[in-house]
Structure 1
């Protein structure tokens, strides 16, 4: 029997949507989760690095972040996927620092050098409300993996201030299952990258050999929580998983294997953005990591896209990225 590829299955009327976190807040469960998550920062295991430092005393581990998060910027982002940016932008909050060490990071000054300001829970909540007032379609937390407790803490305050927008968790997929389970019933839209398939390549380029294993488990958990991506009648994302994958030179990302995993172990209905904007950045140069010191070719991009279709995937972001 031919698979049902009707897009109508993935449309929800906007007026029947409610942000997932509102019920948990009304029940008091959100407040309890936030309080426990903050308390657990005394021996931080918020991400797979499991550094064990006391962040409540501003000790820092791999992410170099203490009690409060560092925020680089917040603004209506018009460069995200069409289903997120819409016509008024995605309300992005860019957290600084990262639990990965991607040598090719295009935001190296933010992710590794810590550009930004230490931000209190009250200020983080105010940022969410400012973005809602600006007309953004959602609140988009970028690189939140090491700041899940602080996001929950600020979210409680933002809801009390009137927040009602869908939440986007925009992640590298280097997430702990414990943190993701804290977000169950809170996050509406998960947007993980799946960066690299091979552990040795992950060690060389991300400085995390366990990245592929962690990412597979994380994406499975995200899909368990929210399922395939659902849009409203205007094409705006409301709930579900949207996967990003950046094609790399020489297929060092393992695009074919990643697409097969998504189709076979997540769902052939998975919405995927196969991105072509790789460029040498961060630590990449003629002497360091010369094998990725170039942009990808049109052929390399097309091969990744063909691999996705051959795997059985069919829902793609249509813009060339």
Structure 2
């Protein structure tokens, strides 16, 4: 049996006893679904050139990151702006071969990066598709854009395939993680995963035009009534990595989906709350930190999930 066949067999076994994420469902995804809802084939809700990602991912000319939005998620964030796909599963199943074509199509559109959004539960399919795409000339930097609720083993499997990791670090406190995402062990799990991401990608490497080639960008969304928890998140990042990672500090919280069912979450962030977290980053000596200005807490920034780009172009 050659090495390719061994790898394919390992991918199949991963789906037949799925332990890709910390939930460790152990279900046979060729027969049924586990916590996340994903089956044996990747499901995609939108393929687009996304101009609102961090500047170092969208190209110096702002042409956009080549986003591929995967359906389902292993977290249950009550305020998820992408709940149509993460919780409700809207999307279309594709074969690994079609997924490889989508990667190549994003490259042909001029995408600066290939941005895989919520990919955890489809890692075997993604790795296979990347192998197929690379055999046909695919060469974009691959961005692994996740909620960071990952196993170290799954992250390690991405070594050599992913250049840039874009994890959220959502919470520092167990209570928040339990109430808002049904993941009380989130901080312990996510911090281990992010350390492994850094081990793979290493310190930030930028091209001359400012585009990120390798490295880790850690996103943190400041939540209403949780500014001190956000400060704890920044403390951990700075103590662990110094300025060897990029931070993306977001003020765009919008009370969507089931946020109103949770006390204190049915409002937008105040300027004071966000600025106090920014000031804390400055006080820590953090210099690599994107901050958001103006009104970003608006549903107009939520992608329209309509299946665009998933089907093969008619002229292909």
How high is the TM-score relative to the length of structure 1?
0.87
Residue 36 of structure 1 deviates from its aligned partner by: 1.6
Q: Distance in 1 between matches of 2:241 and 2:199?
A: 9
In structure 1, the partner of 2:247 is 272
- Give the 5 Å matches for 1:81-230: 81-86=54-59, 87-230=62-205
Corresponding residue to 2:32 among 59, 63, 75? 59
Q: Distance in 2 between matches of 1:31 and 1:85?
A: 36
Unaligned 5+ segments in structure 2 are 297-316
In structure 2, the partner of 1:18 is none
Residue 35 of structure 1 deviates from its aligned partner by: 4.3
- Residues matched between the structures, number: 291
Q: Deviations over 1:78-110 (max 9, x none)?
A: 111111112221010000100000000011101
Find the residue that maps to 2:274 and give its secondary structure.
helix
Residues 171, 191 of structure 1: 8 Å contact kept: yes
Q: Distance in 1 between matches of 2:147 and 2:26?
A: 21
Q: Distance in 2 between matches of 1:123 and 1:42?
A: 22
Stretches of 4+ aligned residues off by more than 6 angstroms: 28-31
Q: Distance in 2 between matches of 1:125 and 1:131?
A: 10
Residue 38 of structure 1 deviates from its aligned partner by: 3.0
In structure 1, the partner of 2:290 is 317
1:253/1:194 CA distance change after superposition, 3 Å: farther
Q: Deviations over 1:243-279 (max 9, x none)?
A: 1000000116811111111111123332111000001
Find the residue that maps to 1:249 and give its secondary structure.
coil
Q: Distance in 1 between matches of 2:284 and 2:3?
A: 40
1:58/1:272 CA distance change after superposition, 3 Å: same
Find the residue that maps to 1:224 and give its secondary structure.
helix
1:178/1:33 CA distance change after superposition, 3 Å: farther
Question: Which is richer in helix?
Answer: 1
Corresponding residue to 1:42 among 8, 16, 36? 16
Corresponding residue to 1:290 among 243, 252, 263? 263
Residue 59 of structure 1 deviates from its aligned partner by: 1.4
Q: Distance in 2 between matches of 1:52 and 1:213?
A: 21
Residues 69, 119 of structure 1: 8 Å contact kept: yes
RMSD: 1.7
Find the residue that maps to 1:244 and give its secondary structure.
strand
Residue 228 of structure 1 deviates from its aligned partner by: 2.5
Q: Distance in 1 between matches of 2:125 and 2:98?
A: 11
Find the residue that maps to 2:268 and give its secondary structure.
coil
Q: Distance in 1 between matches of 2:94 and 2:228?
A: 34
Q: Distance in 2 between matches of 1:133 and 1:124?
A: 14
Residue 229 of structure 1 deviates from its aligned partner by: 2.1
1:90/1:32 CA distance change after superposition, 3 Å: farther
Residues 163, 215 of structure 2: 8 Å contact kept: yes
Q: Distance in 2 between matches of 1:155 and 1:38?
A: 16
Unaligned 5+ segments in structure 1 are 1-27
In structure 2, the partner of 1:238 is 213
Q: Distance in 1 between matches of 2:68 and 2:228?
A: 27
In structure 1, the partner of 2:50 is 77
